[in-house]
């Protein structure tokens, strides 16, 4: 189910699964007004918190490699949320920090998909 979701299998008109990363990164890179808005903070906080569920699920089920990846994903999202909540998100330096954090999380989740696919094949 997680692989299907991350590969965009869930219905939604917006970018879905892993493809949400490039969409959010593009907004942060190209649109200071939107990246400084409450919408960006909402996405970072909400989706970041969801990454903790994946981390704890894999940890509980003894999938150490996946748990470690999702711990890193969670920490990156929550750090981006903290930065967005406490710093001037219209600043190019602040946006660059958040882009870097999200890019790191994106890379970790792509790796997690490969691991999950290997477990189900």
What digits encode the pLDDT tens for the residues 71-92?
Answer: 999 999 999 999 989 998 888 9
Task: Using 70 as the pLDDT threshold, list the residues of the chain that sit under it.
Answer: 1, 3-12, 35-36
What does residue 36 show for φ and ψ, rounded to 5 degrees?
Answer: -90, -5
Burial of 28 (0-12, 13-18, 19+ CB in 10 A): buried
Question: Model's pTM, two decimal places?
Answer: 0.88
The structural domain count of the chain equals: 1
Reading the block at residue 20, the tokens are 């949400």
Straight-line distance from the first to the last Cα atom of the chain, in angstroms, rounded to the nearest whole number? 14
pLDDT of residue 30: 82
CA–CA distance, 28 with 11 (Å, rounded to integer): 24
Nearest CA among 121, 107, 34 for reference residue 73: 107
What does residue 93 show for φ and ψ, rounded to 5 degrees?
Answer: -65, -40
Q: Which range of residues forms the domain containing residue 69?
A: 2-120
């Amino acid at each position: 189910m997680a692989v299907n979701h991350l590969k965009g299998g869930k219905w939604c008109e917006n970018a879905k699964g892993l493809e949400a990363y490039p969409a959010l990164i593009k907004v942060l890179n190209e649109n200071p007004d939107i990246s400084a808005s409450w919408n960006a903070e909402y996405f970072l906080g909400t989706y970041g918190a969801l990454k903790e569920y994946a981390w704890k699920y894999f940890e509980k089920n003894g999938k150490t490699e996946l748990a470690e990846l999702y711990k890193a994903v969670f920490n990156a999202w929550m750090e981006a949320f903290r930065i967005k909540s406490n710093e001037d998100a219209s600043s190019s330096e602040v946006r660059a920090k958040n882009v870097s954090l999200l890019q790191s999380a994106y890379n970790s989740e792509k790796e997690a998909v490969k691991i999950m696919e290997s477990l189900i094949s």
